[in-house]
Structure 1
Amino acid sequence: MTAPAAPPSPRPPTSGPPLTRADWERTADQLLLAVRPFASARHGLVHLPGSPSISGRWSDGLEGFARTFLLAAFRLRGAGGNDPHDLAAWYAEGLTAGLDPSGPERWPEFAECNQAKVEAASVAIALHETRPWLWDRLAPSVQHRLSGWLAGMVGQPMPGNNWVWFQAVTEAFNRTVGGPWQQADLDRTVEQTEQWYAGDGWYSDGLSGGAHRNFDHYNAWAMHLYPLWFCRVLGAAAPDGLLDRYRTRLTRFLDDARHLVGANGSPLVQGRSLTYRIAALAPFWTGALFAATPLPPGQTRRVANAMLRHFLDHGAVDEHGLLTPGWHHRFPNLLQVYSGPASPYWASKGFAGLLLDPSDLVWTAPEQPLPVETADFGRTLAGPGWLVAGTRSDGVVRVVNHGSDHVDPARCATDDPAYARVAYSTHVAPEMPDDPSGGPADSCVTLLDAAGRAAHRRPLTRLLVAGHVAVSRHRAHWPEDESPDPFRGPDTTYRLGPVLTTASVLRGDVEVRLVRVDPAPTPPDVAAAGPWRVRIGGWALPDPATVYTVPGRLPRAEARGAGGLWSSIGELGGLPVAEVLRRTGSNPIGTSSAVPILTSLPLRSLPAFCAAVVRLASTGLTADIVPGAAIAWPAPAGPATVTVRWPGGATDTVQLDPPSPGEDPACTTTAATPNAGSRTSSTGISGPPSTATPSR
């Protein structure tokens, strides 16, 4: 298909007064109009250009219809049916074509395409929101076929994660129009959601190995949105107390979530499906719609306007007005196998605020600053196992991760950069190179084997997350195939090495990163034997203007970006080798990137200790910033007490204990009895079974 001429740009002004509701409506209209040239003759399928997902072109066409239909529904309902672009008629024609069992634009049934279950939820919500203008005006025969298509969800097995809500929301809508539904499906969804609630407003997106380990933006754009929309669709038929329960949890979550947005408007660059971008606004709008938010209206407005501008200013929309696959610019390495050309249109959830009345204070109140624009802060998030620090001077939010990795804690896995890194931020992104061989470099603590390959981290074991200190432990392992995947990674073999205990002490823009290396109770595989070297990687800085390495008694490595941000790492002990790794085409934010790294000499004996100061800030490392770390250990195999003394007099004490006798951190179910040349076999898979589509 020849690309059409570009429609008017959906980009609102990058500066000036706060965006208005009219700006948001205009942006929605232009996004919707841009996809029309790519629709089939009667609009039942929307085939956007790009590489197909693992589900194939047919599924991707349904996705293009369903996800843009959701945006159209928010636009139409919010305008009270005022429809200058004939959205209702355009999508009604698409519904009719998609449900014609003998037509060329027929939608796949759920038995034919698992991914259709995801899109059914968008169709159901869109139909609910536009009922007076769409459903009620469809021919009875089309209503019957549509209800029958949705009924295919009844009794269907669902993956144990956010997918259960696709079923519940779909059946809830079908119930309201007299179609088939099943109470057992709804009850099971509510019960499973309770199992996944980790407290303080945080849901794990399902369980990994029976544990809460799956923390990412799905907590925001799925696990809080769908339960409340389920109640909205059912109205008085919703189970008693459920609406209040979900409202209370969302209110609590949003108090954390507003601290995870940078002054640049970016959400945290962590987790899978990042191509959904402003879908991260979904919980903020949902909180305003359901009176379930601690944010004053002006702060909700600030979050929304800043995030929309951030992505539109950084390449989220191409020259044809289409949302691109990526984060800032087009960046396919960020995608998962389930991502197709229309996947970015889950961003439609980021327009749910159009359902608010034009007179609502969220649209009319003056903007109020974000937490990071008001003052420096530190925050402990017990659910995901994160420490958070924001600094007003540069608007940067930083997270150190010692509790979330999205894998079974008992089995070796390859590292996915969206989950396995020690640190994440709103201003930089993890490296995602075309070729992952060689292992992690940025925001990592790892061991290099004799060939210079870096070990992987997942799974990690959370030891402590409190105050300014977080500690975790993992067993170094080297996968034969290093392909990243959020669910576990490919079937491959692993070589096992020593145990690493890592601590982060975080105050403001400075992290002291401490490492202890111990022999594992199960000896390393011969093929993974040393000599090992410790690597600590700093933040990956996009588009560096200058890089530095400073040798000497206290070596350091630094990179300065064109925008004034610095990524720095300095030695506090045991890491005499400084370097800056430079890459092109491996970062979702910049065309090039630089990673400051410190490395030890080959370890002569274990235990071994290393320490570094890691910084992402508007200036480089100077003597008045670098804290001191006094490491004392009473015996070679005993506990180590590390006291970090900060400029200004504050101190933090960290206990870096060795693994307990008999403790073999992680990888235990895959470890073979080591023999000469033995290898550890991995029998897991990267996602759901091959008969199912990987989870969205």
Structure 2
Amino acid sequence: MKKSFALPALLVIAVIYTQKVTAQKAKKKEQTQIAIVTGQQDRLFWANTLYKIAYPVVHNLAEGTLKQNLPLELGPQYYLPVKKVTYLEAVGRTMAGLAPWLALPDDVTEEGKMRKQMRDELLKGLANAVDPNHPDYLNFRTEGQPIVDAAYVAHAFIRAPKALWEPLDATTKKRFVEEFKSLRTRKGAYNNWLLFAGLTEGFLLKIGEQHDPARIDFSIRKMKEWYAGDGWYSDGEKFSMDYYNSFVIHSMLVDLLGTLVEKKMAQQQDYDLALQRMIRYSEFLERVIAPDGTYPAFGRSITYRTAAFQALAQTALMEKLPAHILPAQVRCGLTAVMHKMFDGNQNFDSNGWLVLGFNGHQPMVADQYTSTGSLYIATLGFLTLGLPADNKFWTDPAASWTSKKAWSGETLKKDYKVEY
């Protein structure tokens, strides 16, 4: 009996082994197929995701239905008059992230068609935004919060003047100038808010309008004083560990100083130093992206999601990454973050609007100044879409980012503080 069952038993073992090997090969093949994603595929994913986020804001503003349709979800203990601030928040923050992408020339690709539609609708909506007789006229004239979000509007104009500012009609341009100047009746917080006032005045300087040099100078001086070292600024007199160096400080300071140098109102070395510090800070941002695309949810305003990577995205956009950080590893790291954050619909409601939370509907983590409009700052993580599709950021083969190298035993650069 034992001998009669020996052969069938071996056959069973062989079949099981073959099935196991086949399954392993299939899994390996599947993993290989998943790994082979081109930069052009990454780019289309970025473009589709940015379009998905921005479309409800831009389209509704163009149609005159933004105030009608934008949800008014509020963080716990929210203390602002939401209807006076949230709409400008949504518009300014959305367009600041869109601007570099919309600045690219038209083309006949799927992405190009989306980009042109987005630009055309935004230009239409911007005229509505400053028309006092339009239902979607945005409030610049009262409350302190508009100081913040007018600066994001101005930042978009600075980032894409030929796409977003120059095409506006004379009346709309005049109205924006008047709205920006109206902000001078109020003062903001004694922290990163100084940069908001400075940047808006910097834009007025850039287009040859009367500006307030004191607001510009004060914002620059305080940022210099608040530099904490190793690429980090203190947000005010006391340091806080959060992403405000990326949400606001580095990008606005560098672009404001760039405008001042252009107008011969600042020294080139001041700009160069601020840029060096942003480059250094961007190294930290690249390193905090975990191998699986997650990143730490610490500090204020984690509901701003991918805006946490604005400084890294802008450094890559400017093609100023340190030599040891390949453009492709930044692309792959940020793509991993975006897949983690936006592959599902957990961050959107049934009508496509962003919901309060970090990765999902988590209103308990929203700050007391956060409403639905605030969330559209997430677009700032997509700035590198402003590089054309044939740039090496998009064409180079996939590369591991630093933490992925570290956790897989690959060679990586040691990290040391800098003295500037």
**TM-score normalised over the length of structure 1:** 0.49
The residue that corresponds to 1:680 in the other structure is none
The residue that corresponds to 2:289 in the other structure is 261
Structure 2 residue 50 is the aligned partner of structure 1 residue 28: yes
Q: Which runs of 5+ in 2 are unaligned?
A: 1-32, 410-416
The AA in structure 2 aligned to 1:90 is: E
Over residues 232-278 of structure 1, what are the superposed CA-to-partner deviations in whole Å (9 max), with x where a residue is unaligned?
44552251122201111122223333222211212221001111111
Structure 2 residue 331 is the aligned partner of structure 1 residue 331: no
Aligned-partner Cα distance in 2 for 1:189–1:83: 39
The residue that corresponds to 1:175 in the other structure is 205
Over residues 420-479 of structure 1, what are the superposed CA-to-partner deviations in whole Å (9 max), with x where a residue is unaligned?
xxxxxxxxxxxxxxxxxxxxxxxxxxxxxxxxxxxxxxxxxxxxxx9xxxxxxxxxxxxx
Question: Relative to 1, partners in 2 of residues 1:221 and 1:64: Cα closer, same or farther, differing over 3 Å?
Answer: closer
The residue that corresponds to 1:239 in the other structure is 266
1:36 CA drift (Å): 5.4
The residue that corresponds to 2:385 in the other structure is 354
| 2:395 maps to which of 364, 368, 378 | 364
The residue that corresponds to 1:86 in the other structure is 117
The residue that corresponds to 2:308 in the other structure is 280
Aligned-partner Cα distance in 2 for 1:37–1:135: 18
- Summarize the alignment of residues 296-695 of structure 1 with structure 2, pairs less than 5 Å apart: 296-313=326-343, 315-375=346-406, 391-392=407-408
- Summarize the alignment of residues 147-166 of structure 1 with structure 2, pairs less than 5 Å apart: 147-154=177-184, 156-166=186-196
Which range is displaced more, 152-161 or 134-143? 152-161
Aligned-partner Cα distance in 1 for 2:240–2:392: 35
- Summarize the alignment of residues 98-109 of structure 1 with structure 2, pairs less than 5 Å apart: 98-109=129-140
1:93 CA drift (Å): 2.6
Over residues 662-682 of structure 1, what are the superposed CA-to-partner deviations in whole Å (9 max), with x where a residue is unaligned?
xxxxxxxxxxxxxxxxxxxxx
The 8 Å contact of residues 99 and 164 in structure 2, kept in 1 or not, is answered as no
The 8 Å contact of residues 217 and 280 in structure 1, kept in 2 or not, is answered as yes
Task: Count how many residue pairs are aligned between Structure 1 and Structure 2.
Answer: 362
Identity of aligned residues (%): 25
1:216 CA drift (Å): 0.9
Aligned-partner Cα distance in 1 for 2:66–2:157: 15
User: Partner of 2:228: helix, strand, or coil?
Assistant: strand
| 1:185 maps to which of 195, 200, 215 | 215
Aligned-partner Cα distance in 2 for 1:233–1:46: 37
Question: Relative to 1, partners in 2 of residues 1:261 and 1:292: Cα closer, same or farther, differing over 3 Å?
Answer: same
The residue that corresponds to 2:299 in the other structure is 271
The AA in structure 2 aligned to 1:283 is: A
The 8 Å contact of residues 56 and 352 in structure 2, kept in 1 or not, is answered as yes
The residue that corresponds to 2:101 in the other structure is 75
1:335 CA drift (Å): 0.3
Question: Relative to 1, partners in 2 of residues 1:39 and 1:136: Cα closer, same or farther, differing over 3 Å?
Answer: closer
| 1:226 maps to which of 252, 256, 266 | 252
Aligned-partner Cα distance in 2 for 1:227–1:192: 11
Q: Which runs of 5+ in 1 are unaligned?
A: 1-12, 376-390, 394-465, 467-696
Structure 2 residue 152 is the aligned partner of structure 1 residue 126: no
After superposing on structure 2, the runs of 4+ consecutive aligned residues of structure 1 that deviate more than 6 Å are none
The residue that corresponds to 1:135 in the other structure is 165
Over residues 160-217 of structure 1, what are the superposed CA-to-partner deviations in whole Å (9 max), with x where a residue is unaligned?
2111111111111111222221111111111100121110101111123xxxx21211
Aligned-partner Cα distance in 2 for 1:142–1:44: 18
The AA in structure 1 aligned to 2:232 is: W
Question: Relative to 1, partners in 2 of residues 1:79 and 1:264: Cα closer, same or farther, differing over 3 Å?
Answer: farther
The residue that corresponds to 1:48 in the other structure is 70
1:230 CA drift (Å): 1.6
The residue that corresponds to 1:462 in the other structure is none
Aligned-partner Cα distance in 2 for 1:312–1:217: 20
The AA in structure 2 aligned to 1:122 is: Y
Which range is displaced more, 349-358 or 91-100? 91-100
User: Partner of 2:92: helix, strand, or coil?
Assistant: helix
The AA in structure 1 aligned to 2:327 is: P
The 8 Å contact of residues 40 and 105 in structure 1, kept in 2 or not, is answered as no
User: Partner of 2:183: helix, strand, or coil?
Assistant: coil
1:41 CA drift (Å): 4.4
The residue that corresponds to 1:113 in the other structure is 143
Question: Relative to 1, partners in 2 of residues 1:126 and 1:337: Cα closer, same or farther, differing over 3 Å?
Answer: same
Question: Relative to 1, partners in 2 of residues 1:58 and 1:195: Cα closer, same or farther, differing over 3 Å?
Answer: same
The 8 Å contact of residues 153 and 170 in structure 1, kept in 2 or not, is answered as no
The residue that corresponds to 2:321 in the other structure is 293
Root mean square deviation of aligned Cα: 2.7
| 2:278 maps to which of 239, 244, 250 | 250
Aligned-partner Cα distance in 1 for 2:350–2:34: 17
User: Partner of 1:223: helix, strand, or coil?
Assistant: helix
The residue that corresponds to 1:418 in the other structure is none
The AA in structure 1 aligned to 2:155 is: I
The AA in structure 2 aligned to 1:31 is: I
The residue that corresponds to 1:202 in the other structure is 232
1:40 CA drift (Å): 7.7
**TM-score normalised over the length of structure 2:** 0.78
1:108 CA drift (Å): 1.6
Question: Relative to 1, partners in 2 of residues 1:246 and 1:57: Cα closer, same or farther, differing over 3 Å?
Answer: same
The residue that corresponds to 1:61 in the other structure is 87
User: Partner of 1:137: helix, strand, or coil?
Assistant: coil
